[in-house]
Amino acid sequence: MRAFFAVDLPDDLADAVADAQAAFEGADGLRFVDPEQAHVTLKFLGEIGESDDIGESDETDGDTDTDAPALDDVIAAGERAIETAGVEPFECSLAGLGVFPSLDYISVVWAGVDAGAAELTALHEALEAETTALGVDPEDHAFTPHVTLARMNDARGKELVRRVVRERQAAIGRFEAAEVRLVASTLTSEGPAYETVATIPLG
């Protein structure tokens, strides 16, 4: 199954995330994420092992990747990483907008993290160290704490996205980060479906 470690946004921030997305209405080619599934990805793992009580994998050929790290090992790595990071529950704030990889070529539109960025980075670095030791691919870019708002399928709305990102940098909302989730992601025709595999409290 495809999986990642993340910090969730609370349900009461869904409306604020939707408001941030609304600034991009009319930008053709954008596909918005579900505001109720908003989260900060700390480490994308790719394919990992799967236990019988987790939903079916999204692999299309039915084969299991024998090189993928086992689920129990990934959970244990996550627990070690959280302990190593030594991060207590902390407050985060969402403020400002950005894109990946650049305003010249936009694939992802996101809301940035202001307060809490240092703690999220510490968690990411600890998870990176523990999971790459299991054979998970290392990140190929610098970690930027963010919440994905939309993905750009084509460039028709690029100019509108550029203008909004440059002009709108207001605060979006605040939330407390008190736990890290290991999430299974199943790709569907209507977007990814998420299922919590494990929850690791901070502190």
Which residue is catalytic, options 2, 18, 29, 39? 39
- Domain map (residue ranges) of the chain: 2-54+67-201
User: According to the model, what pLDDT value does residue 80 have?
Assistant: 98
pLDDT computed for residue 63 by the predictor:
47
Active-site residue among 42, 121, 131, 146?
A: 146
pLDDT attached to residue 61: 44
In this prediction the pTM is 0.90
pLDDT at residue 106, rounded to an integer:
96
| Structure token pair of residue 172 | 């979006």
Tell me, what's the pLDDT at 154? 92
Is 141 catalytic? The answer is: no
- Give residue 58's pLDDT: 42
What CATH architecture applies to the domain 2-54+67-201? Alpha-Beta Complex (3.90)
Beta-strand (E) ranges in the chain?
Answer: 2-8, 30-32, 39-47, 90-101, 106-113, 146-152, 171-177, 179-188, 191-201
Ranges in the chain, pLDDT < 50: 54-64
